[in-house]
């Protein structure tokens, strides 16, 4: 019985952490444009900007 409760608590914490992570990532995207944080933008005639 105690083990079930413990497992349920761990699952709840994991789900909560995942939701918090997604919300934090969305807030970061609002501040920083999406292109700058995912991959370096490579112009047609030059090196990558992010490098």
Position 44 in a domain: no
DSSP designation for 28: H
Position 23 in a domain: yes
Lookup result for tokens 């444009």: 33
pLDDT digits (tens, 9 = 90+) for 7-37: 999 999 999 999 999 998 888 776 655 555 5
pTM: 0.47
Does 45 map to a domain? no
Which class for 22: exposed (0-12), middle (13-18), buried (19 or more C-beta within 10 A)? exposed
Q: How far apart are CA 11 and CA 26, in angstroms?
A: 23
The structural domain count of the chain equals 1
**Max Cα separation, the chain?**
65
For the segment 42-50, the average pLDDT, to the nearest whole number, is: 59
Phi and psi torsions of 6, nearest 5°? -65, -45
Domain that holds residue 23: 2-34
């Amino acid at each position: 019985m105690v083990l079930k409760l413990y497992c349920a608590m761990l699952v709840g914490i994991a789900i909560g952490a995942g939701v918090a992570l997604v919300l934090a990532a969305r807030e970061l995207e609002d501040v920083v444009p999406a292109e700058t944080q995912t991959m370096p933008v490579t112009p047609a005639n030059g090196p990558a900007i992010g490098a």
